[in-house]
Structure 1
Amino acid sequence: MRILVTGYSGQLGYDVVREGVNRGIDMVGIGSKELNITDGPSVKEFIHEKNPDAIIHCAAYTAVDKAEDDKEKCWKVNVEGTTHLANAAKEIAAKFMFISTDYVFEGLGKVPFIESDVPNPVGFYGITKYEGEKVVQSLLNEWFIVRISWVFGMNGTNFVKKILELTEKCSELNIVGDQIGSPTYTFELSRLLLDMIQTERYGIYHATNEGFCSWAEFANEIFHITNKRIKVNTITSEEYPTRAVRPKNSRMSKQKLIDNGFNPLPSWQEALEHFLTNLKLEGK
């Protein structure tokens, strides 16, 4: 089986390719340098040339705040790019997996969102990811849509790395405590995605590490595992204003994974410990 992965230069795409290679799968990882997904003719030519059996589309415009002012580019990447890739997948009869986000939901309430809940994004990034979901569903029959949240991995920047950098110069941090979600380690997520793409159990899934926490609780766990004495002041979203509105409720139910025979991911605490161990081993 040959699997083409977009977003190879990012956290998730990198780990998906690496895990696939470890499994002996023929993996083709591409970043924006190898292919501009907003260029329809180039996408068609490239996909036909590589002729994969499946495409895992991890590439995305993910600068949530910047997207509010750079709407044209965000739309081109997240909607038009997804359209080009989905059309190319259809032409060669390849399975297609679209990586989506908790930002497709408005983030109200405290109950975990289920896969059949109707999205209602409040920010432009979330709007484009929901539009991408609709494109995939309208163009293809053999598709997976996998919504993820709060990812961290070895390749690229993320909350964990940024927090650890801040500890080099700060002994006290103000961190938001009213946004609740599931931190997700891309290494473990990549294994699940590869398991899924090799089946025909198509549909919408939520895939994150188990359990929920706030960003402040996440930070405290980072400090607990790394034995750093940093004071965390829990603040509200309103006390830390951002250009784009963040969903306060990013809880997502993963019951559909279990119902379809997939193993749930470990707890976010276990995942974080695993990640920090690997980070130390690689000297990062």
Structure 2
Amino acid sequence: MSKVLVTGGSGQLGRELRLKAQIFHDHTFVFTDRSELNIADAFQVRQVVERERPSCVINCAAYTAVDRAESDIDAAMSVNHSGAELCAAEARRIGARFIHISTDFVFDGKKSTPYVEDDMTSPLGVYGLSKREGERAVLDAHPDACIIRTSWLYSAYGANFLKTMLRLGRERSEIGVIADQVGTPTWTADFADVLLQAVTADLSGIFHYSNEGVASWYDFAIAIMELSGLSCDVRPLETHEYPTPAQRPAYSIMNKRKIRSALNISIPYWRVSLQKCIERLKQEDL
């Protein structure tokens, strides 16, 4: 039985993988969080990898505070670039496979058709830049690594757009949400299933994964209110009406043909998955 080491095990994706791992009996899993493994610390990375000797490493650890990254450049680069490189290098050193999570924010959003894996990257902010540099460093350190870009992750865990909208929907009668940025909401439960399949599929190179379909943040918020039975009105905002420190891509739809073919999977529509996640949240509230 092979062993899988997961970094960032307390994040929303890591926590979803913990649940899935309980019924994924072909592998044993070791989950670490930042208190156990700071991936930007070369000594810790070497120590944990040497102790566990995994056959595969899934790097879910990341600096994801998009706006804060604009003034916290060193921290974002330390984790998303240097840390990813250290983990990839250590995985290669012991002959382990390496799966790294990246983001749609490596693109500038100027296309009008879905991004494919070999489209030019041109991040608009520090977060996207740190992830793009991390991708490059990972492939330099471990040429057979698998990088999967995803978008707009949400889950029943941690802080994310879904949880924020549910809170605001209960507290307010009306909110404004950006309507001129489009992408695809992605449920971590669906993504975790794909990652577990990738463990055994021996993928290498760059892939895209999100749920299917297209939505603006406004569409996403409307669906959250409808599916959760909240009466909060959602009004559309243009990006200039809600300025943020970091600029975000206006269009970040990704083409998933490559990963669908490689894993022979059917990808759920975003609204179907959102309903399942909200139902799970309701059950946990009871």
Partners of 1:16 and 1:94 in 2: CA distance:
19
1:86-115 C-alpha deviation (Å, 9 max, x unpaired): 111011110001100000000113211001
The one-letter amino acid paired with 1:243 is P
Give the unaligned 5+ runs of structure 2. Answer: none
**Residue from 239, 243, 246 that aligns with 2:245:** 243
TM-score (norm 1): 0.97
Query: Which consecutive aligned stretches of 4+ in structure 1 deviate over 3 angstroms post-superposition?
Result: none
Post-superposition offset of 1:174: 0.6
**5+ residue gaps in structure 1?**
none
Which amino acid letter does the alignment assign opposite residue 205 of structure 2?
Answer: G
Q: Is the 8 Å Cα contact of residues 107 and 124 (structure 2) preserved in structure 1?
A: yes
Distance 1:76 1:230 in 2: 40
Aligned residue for 2:21? 20
Q: Alpha-carbon deviation of 1:81?
A: 0.7
Give the letter aligned to residue 118 of structure 1.
M
Task: After superposing the two structures, state which structure 1 stretch, 72-81 or 222-231, moved more.
Answer: 222-231
The aligned residue for residue 99 of structure 1 is 101
- Which residue in 2 is equivalent to 1:160? 162
Question: Is the CA contact (8 Å cut-off) linking 1:209 and 1:264 kept in structure 2?
Answer: no
Look up the match of 1:10: 11
Moved more, 28-37 or 258-267: 258-267
Q: Distance in 1 between matches of 2:102 and 2:223?
A: 26
Change in Cα spacing, 1:69 to 1:218, as seen in structure 2 (3 Å) is same
**Aligned residues of 1:254 and 1:264 also touching (Cα < 8 A):** no
Aligned residue for 1:218? 220
Partner of 1:50: 52
Is the Cα–Cα contact under 8 Å of residues 117 and 206 in structure 2 kept in the other structure?
A: yes
Note the 1:251-262 alignment, pairs <5 A: 251-262=253-264
Cα offset, 1:191, TM superposition: 0.5
Q: Give deviations 1:211-267, integer Å, cap 9, x for gaps.
A: 010010111111111222221110111111000001110100001112224313200
Instruction: Give the SS at the match of 2:71.
Output: coil
Q: Does the CA contact (< 8 Å) of 2:183 and 2:251 recur in 1? A: yes
What is the CA–CA distance in structure 2 between the aligned matches of 1:41 and 1:64, rounded to whole Å? Answer: 27
1:173 to 163, 172, 175: 175
Matched, 1:67 2:53: no
Secondary structure in structure 2 of the residue aligned to 1:33: coil
Q: What residue is the counterpart of 1:198 in the other structure?
A: 200
- Whether the 8 Å CA contact 2:15–2:157 is kept in 1: the answer is yes
Contact 2:198/2:263 (8 A) holds in 1: no
SS at 2:100 equivalent: strand
SS in 2 for 1:28: strand
Q: Percent identity?
A: 37
1:71/1:114 CA distance change after superposition, 3 Å: same
RMSD across aligned positions (CA): 1.1
The reply on whether 1:84 has 2:86 as its aligned counterpart is: yes
